[in-house]
Amino acid sequence: MTTATLSAAAPYLIQQDYSSYTEEQHGIWAELVGRVLPELEKHAAQEYLDGFQIIGLKRDRLPNLAEVNARLEPRTGWKSTAVSGFLPSQAFFEMLAARKFPTTVWLRSRESMEYTPEPDIFHDVVGHVPMHAHPVFADFLEHYGRVCVATPEEPIREKLSRLFWYTVEFGLIRQQGEIKVYGSGLMSSHGECLNVMSGHCAIKEFSLAEVVNTPVKIDELHKLLFVVNSFDQLYEVMHEAERLAASGRL
C-alpha cells in the first residue's frame, strides 16, 4: 500500500516543522525521558531498548522524524509519519498496513507532564517507535493493519482493537524468567508501569480468545494484562486472528 492509496489518511498527513520547537519544549522532552528511562532500562523488553538505540533517540532533544526514519526505514521498512492529530480508525489502519506509523508532533505542556488525554510525540515516539525496529514486531503490526483494513464489520473490529490494546499498547513479554514490558502505554506511563511491576495487576498467559473478549477500560489503572513468551508467538496470534476474523468466528 503506497501513500497514493491512503485515501482515508491523506487529509491528516502533515510535515514536522522541527525548527519550531522551543528550548522550553526540548527541556520538557528531556525531563519526560529522564523520568521514564531509568524504569525502562530495568523493565523494558530488550528489543525495545535495542530499538531506542537503533533509531537514535536523544535524551535531551525532541526527535527529528526525518532522522529517525533514515535509521528505521532501511531496517524494517517502517516510517514514523507526522499526522495532525487523532485519526479515524480506517485512516489509522491504512497507515499501519503501509508501514507508516501515525505520529503526532505536538508535545504536552509542563502543566500536563503526568498525563495527556491525547497522544503526543512523547507517547508516540518513546512509546511506540523503538519496537518498529524489531523485524518480527514490525511484521506483526503491518499484518494487523492489513487485516483491519479488510474487515468492515464493526463487532469484529472491536475485538481486533482489544488485541491491539493488550499487545501494542499494554503488552508484556517473559524474558529470562522475568516479566518485561513492550506496550507503548506502559513505556510512556510511569504509573502504569509501576502498577504492573509492583504486583497490583494480574498477569495471565496470552490467550487470543480471552484477550478479544476482555473489555478495555481507559479511565483506571489496569487490573489484568497478558504476557507472551516471544514476539514470534505474537506474530502467530495475528495469523490466527486473521483466520477467525475472515470466518466471522473471532
Q: Tell me, yes or no, if 190 is annotated catalytic.
A: no
List 47, 94, 142, 169, catalytic entry = 169
User: Is the separation of the CB atoms in 69 and 55 below 8 Å?
Assistant: no
Q: Tell me, yes or no, if 123 is annotated catalytic.
A: yes
Q: Tell me, yes or no, if 143 is annotated catalytic.
A: no
User: Minimal CA–CA distance to 164: which of 186, 180, 140, 181?
Assistant: 140
Grid coordinates representing 7 are: 485515501
How far is 125 from 196, CA to CA, in rounded Å? 22
List 128, 132, 134, 222, catalytic entry = 128
Grid coordinates representing 172 are: 508484556
How far is 130 from 200, CA to CA, in rounded Å? 27
How far is 119 from 121, CA to CA, in rounded Å? 7
List 43, 123, 132, 134, catalytic entry = 123
Q: Tell me, yes or no, if 80 is annotated catalytic.
A: no
Grid coordinates representing 42 are: 530495568
**Main-chain dihedrals φ then ψ at residue 97, nearest 5 degrees:** -65, -25
Q: In what order do the strands lie in the sheet with 178-181?
A: 178-181, 172-175, 224-228, 202-205
Residue position matching grid coordinates 529517525 = 68
List 80, 188, 222, 242, catalytic entry = 188
Give the active site residues.
Answer: 123, 128, 169, 188
